[in-house]
Amino acid sequence: MTPAPIHSTTQRPGPMGLSLLHLLNTPNVLTLCRLFLIPIILAMLSKHRFNYALYLFCLAALTDALDGTVARWFDCKTEIGAYLDPFADKLLLLSAFVALTLENMLPGWLLGVVVIRDIVIVFGYFMLSFLTSERVPVRPSYLGKASTFLQLFCIIGALAQAGRNWPAGWYGMLYLTVAVTALSGVHYAYRGLVWLSTREPEMFA
- pLDDT for 86: 82
pLDDT confidence of residue 98? 96
Q: Mean pLDDT, to the nearest integer, of 124-129?
A: 86
Report the b/e string of 26-47 with b at 16+ CB within 10 A. ebbebbeebeebbeebbebbee
Tens digit of pLDDT for each residue in 77-89? Answer: 666 767 788 888 8
* Residue 2, in any domain of the structure: no
Where would I find the H helices in the chain?
15-23, 26-46, 50-73, 79-102, 108-132, 142-161, 170-197
pLDDT at 140: 77
In the prediction, which pLDDT does 158 show? 92
Contact 153, 106 (CB under 8 A): no
pTM: predicted TM-score of the whole model, two decimal places: 0.78
- Domain range for 160 is 18-204
The confidence band for 200, taking pLDDT boundaries of 50, 70 and 90, is low
Task: Read off the CATH number of the domain in which 159 is found.
Answer: 1.20.120.1760
Q: pLDDT band for 16, please (50, 70, 90 cuts).
A: very low
Residue type, 21: L
- Decide if 79 is inside a domain: yes
In angstroms, the CA 98 to CA 45 distance is: 11
Residue 121 lies in a domain: yes
The 10s digit of each residue's pLDDT in 35-84 is 999 999 999 999 999 999 999 999 998 988 886 666 666 566 666 767 78
* Total domains in the fold of the chain: 1
Q: For the CA atoms of the chain, what is the radius of gyration?
A: 22
Give the C-alpha distances (Å, rounded to integers) separating 24 from 17, 32, 50, 81: 11, 9, 32, 10
Give residue 17's pLDDT band: very low, low, confident or very high (50, 70, 90).
very low
6 falls within a domain: no
Residue 5: partners with Cβ closer than 8 Å, 6 or more residues away:
none
Rounded to the nearest 10°, the torsion over CA 148, 149, 155, 158 is -140
CA pair distance 53, 35, nearest whole angstrom:
14
Asked whether residue 11 is domain-assigned, the answer is no
Q: How far apart are CA 117 and CA 186, in angstroms?
A: 8
